[in-house]
Amino acid sequence: MEKLNEQQPVKSRPTIPAIPSVERRMFMRQLGLTAASVTALMTACTREVTDVNPVTGRASARMGASVLPDGTIDLGSGDIGIANLAYSLEQLETAFYATALERATGLSAQDRKVLEELHDHELVHREFFKGILTNNAIPMLEFNFSNINFNDRYGVFDAAQQFENLGVAAYNGAGPLLEDVEMLKLAGKIVSVEARHATLTLNMLRPKTYFSLGHELIDVLGRDWFRTPVEAAMKAQPFIKQKLSVANLPTY
């Protein structure tokens, strides 16, 4: 499992345009949630709106993730909360593929090639979110894949398609809740890659069928599956050792 926590090279800090007023309003809404958030609120309200930058952090680090006294990881609120959810899911997918490549039996060379490709994309996504979240990022998570059958390729690809489809649903559900249009653009660039992954993993099970096209996930209006950020986090929770707090995630 130690391979799941690879060394992270030091990166310079990227910048994402500030979304000051919105984040400030978010602070207002969260009044009274916890003692910690009240403190945050008081601090935030005294700040100049213009120097709050929720993704790059500086003035708004308190918006980001926090580890609560009992070890629970709060994903944070607003766009940071959504980015941390995405970061969690990308961590989960990367760790799953790494574990499958280490542990799974009964895989063909082609199966392994596909899993490697998927692993590498998810790793890029993971590092991307880590990069934009900087000091607002949640820690590296630990995972529990004990319910996944790594003894044959069907177990592996069935789990893979579930993670990939959850990814699609999570981005579809979170996109409309993003405040920063830059974040929306970035999420859009990733979700279609997740949909391509989902299609590939479904095809590894039952190629060229209604199933491989995600038939069961697409409604009669031709719309793909979606999960709200809270629902998506709950779906991922059984595979994550730490408890996630979704209390501050944006809702519809």
Could you say whether residue 25 binds other proteins (CB under 8 A)? Answer: no
Q: From the CB of 70, what's the least distance to other proteins, in Å?
A: 31
Among 82, 148, 191, 230, binds other proteins (CB under 8 A): 191
Closer CB to other proteins, residue 53 or residue 172? 172
Residue 131, burial from CB neighbour count under 10 angstroms (0-12, 13-18, 19+): middle
Least Cα distance to 166 among 104, 233, 211 occurs for 233
Which tokens hold the place of 181?
């249009």
> Mask of contacts with other proteins, 140-179, x by CB under 8 A?
----------------------------x--xxx-xxx--
Closest C-alpha to 77, from 124, 126, 117, 136: 136
For residue 52, state whether it binds other proteins (rule: CB under 8 A).
Answer: no
Q: CB under 8 A: which stretch of 19-27, 45-53, 79-87, 207-215 binds other proteins?
A: 207-215
The residue within the footprint of other proteins, chosen from 132, 160, 236, 249 (CB under 8 A), is 132
Using CB under 8 A, pick the residue from 218, 234, 241, 243 that binds other proteins: 218
| 69 touches other proteins (CB under 8 A) | no
Could you give the strand order of the β-sheet that contains 73-74, starting from the edge strand earlier in sequence? Answer: 66-67, 73-74, 244-245
Site for other proteins contains 224 (CB under 8 A): yes
Q: Does 220 bind other proteins (CB under 8 A)?
A: yes
* 22 and 78 Cβ atoms separated by less than 8 Å: yes
Residue 207 is a binding residue for other proteins (CB under 8 A)? yes
Nearest approach, Cβ of residue 158 and other proteins (Å): 17
Give Cα separations from 252 to 65, 179, 231 (angstroms): 21, 12, 12
Choose between 34 and 205: whose C-beta lies nearer to other proteins.
205
116 Cβ contact partners less than 8 Å away, ≥ 6 residues apart = 97, 101
Specify the DSSP class assigned to residue 77.
Answer: S
Around Cβ 54, how many Cβ atoms within 10 Å?
Answer: 30
Return the closest-CA partner of residue 87 out of 182, 195, 188, 170: 170
Q: How far is the CB of 46 from other proteins (least distance, A)?
A: 30
CA dihedral 13, 15, 18, 22 (to 10 degrees): -70
Number of residues engaging other proteins in binding (CB under 8 A): 67
| Closest distance to other proteins from the beta carbon of 62 (Å) | 23
Phi, psi of 60 (to 5 degrees): -125, 25
Sequence-separated (6 or more) residues with CB below 8 Å from residue 68: 74, 245
Binding site for other proteins (CB under 8 A): 6-7, 9, 11-12, 14-16, 97-98, 101, 113, 116-117, 119-121, 123-125, 127-128, 131-132, 168, 171-173, 175-177, 181-182, 184-186, 188-200, 203, 207-210, 212-215, 218, 220-226, 252
